Amino acid sequence: MTSRPPTPSTPLLPMDRRGFLRLTGFVGGGLLLAACGDDSGGSGGSGGGGGGGGTIGISLNGNNAYSSYVAEGVLKALDGTDYDFTGIQNDFDSSVELGNIENLLSQGIAGLVVLPADAATLARAAEQAQAQDIPVGNALWPGESEADEFFTGVAALDSVEGGRLIGEWLKANATPGPVIVVQGIVGQGFSERIDEGLDEALEGSGFEVVVREQGFFARDTATDIVESGLQANPGVTAIVAYAASMSNGISSYLESQGITNIAHVSSDADDEMMDWLQTPYLSAARYYSAAETGLVAAQAVLAAIEGDEATFENEIFQDMITPENAEQMVADHPYRYEEFAEQAATI
């Protein structure tokens, strides 16, 4: 289980995006191709490389920066092993997710790592995998459920606590008033848990959620929700979006309107969000590493395949990130492993 490092006690100076890239080793090093892939990066979402250990299947809920970072984490786990990979993404559509995973299972994969579009769909798929003795790692675990018996290991991100972190930050840093909340996808179990923690933290505080809608991790959808929400509630003092992919669009909209008096809080992180964090249009985010979720889920799967003891519940670090503490937080927990970006892009 991963451990949580201490939060820096001394605020750090803000830095530009190039500083972030330099910090995390993305500048000047070039792309390092993993042992699980060939020089071409494969085609159709498959890695080449002739590894003798078998193939790890990767199922991503959609095609955006976050899911790519999860894949980069999986590929980091495979680096230096004899395992290849093959992958699919489901366009955030739970209706196709089960069929796509069943297709992966039919290919004789040795293990499976899933970033689910829907918790119930993944449970059915994981049950089928278990019946075939294929270990499954869950990179977006919503918490304990009856489906846990079908998973080998999970990335344990406490989203109730994540919601509380956001709520406590708002109470300490923002003006009480109406709040717009842009969820991800209801059904994953992810947004619902953040809702729970956020509502608990804000109860009786003077903050009131007046809009709560699904943004489906799409920047344009999220922007539309915020625009209509502000029109209907001109006194909004805070906006909370449950993913950087949505906050990036919201930040762009706030900039276009010259709105700087609303506290805008995001969740997770990507390259573009790190740029916005240095502006008045994004105040903070509940930070955690997408890549780390893929890494620990894949490590559990590999351990099971190799006959080692797999850790079921692998804790994922999370905390509030702001311009003042961003440098140290990203250094301790990089949100991606860009040396594997070229391979991840084939999924």
CATH number at 60 reads 3.40.50.2300
Please report whether residue 92 resides in a domain. yes
Give a yes or no: residue 294 inside a domain: yes
- Give the N- to C-terminal CA distance of the chain in Å, as an integer: 28
In a shared domain, residues 22 and 152: yes
203 and 61 co-located in one domain: no
281 and 150 within one domain: no
Structural domains of the chain, count: 2
- 126 and 29, same domain (yes or no): yes
pLDDT score recorded for residue 88 = 97
CA atoms within 13 A on the CB side of 283: 19
- 178 and 123 share a domain? no
Instruction: Please report which confidence band the pLDDT of residue 115 belongs to, taking 50, 70 and 90 as the band edges.
Output: very high
Query: pLDDT band at residue 142, thresholds of 50, 70 and 90?
Result: confident
The verdict on 88 and 179 lying in the same domain is no
* 60 and 138, same domain (yes or no): yes
Q: Do residue 82 and residue 178 come from a single domain?
A: no
Rounded Cα–Cα distance for residues 20 and 290 (Å):
16
pLDDT above 90: percentage of residues in the chain = 82
Instruction: Evaluate the CA torsion angle 247, 191, 125, 100 in order and state its sign.
Output: negative
Residue 118 resides in a domain: yes
Instruction: Name which residue leads in pLDDT, 307 or 142.
Output: 307
CA gap 259, 267 in Å, rounded: 20
Look up residue 33 and give its DSSP letter.
P
Q: Are residues 276 and 301 in the same domain?
A: no
* 111 beta partners: 56
Between the alpha carbon of residue 307 and those of residues 56, 152, 323, 339, the distances in Å are 16, 12, 44, 29
Phi-psi map region of 109: left, alpha, beta (phi>0 left; psi -120 to 50 alpha): beta
Asked whether residue 40 carries a pLDDT value surpassing 50, the answer given is no
Residue 308 carries which DSSP code?
P
Paired with 265 in beta bridges are: 240, 284
Domain range for 137: 17-157+289-319+333-344
The mean predicted confidence, pLDDT, of the chain is: 87
Same domain, 132 and 176: no
Looking only at the bridges linking them, the beta strands covering 284-287 and 319-321 are antiparallel
As beta bridge partners, residue 208 has 178
Residue 251 or residue 188, greater confidence:
251
pLDDT at residue 186 above 90?
A: yes
Model confidence, pTM: 0.82
The pLDDT > 70 percentage for the chain reads 85
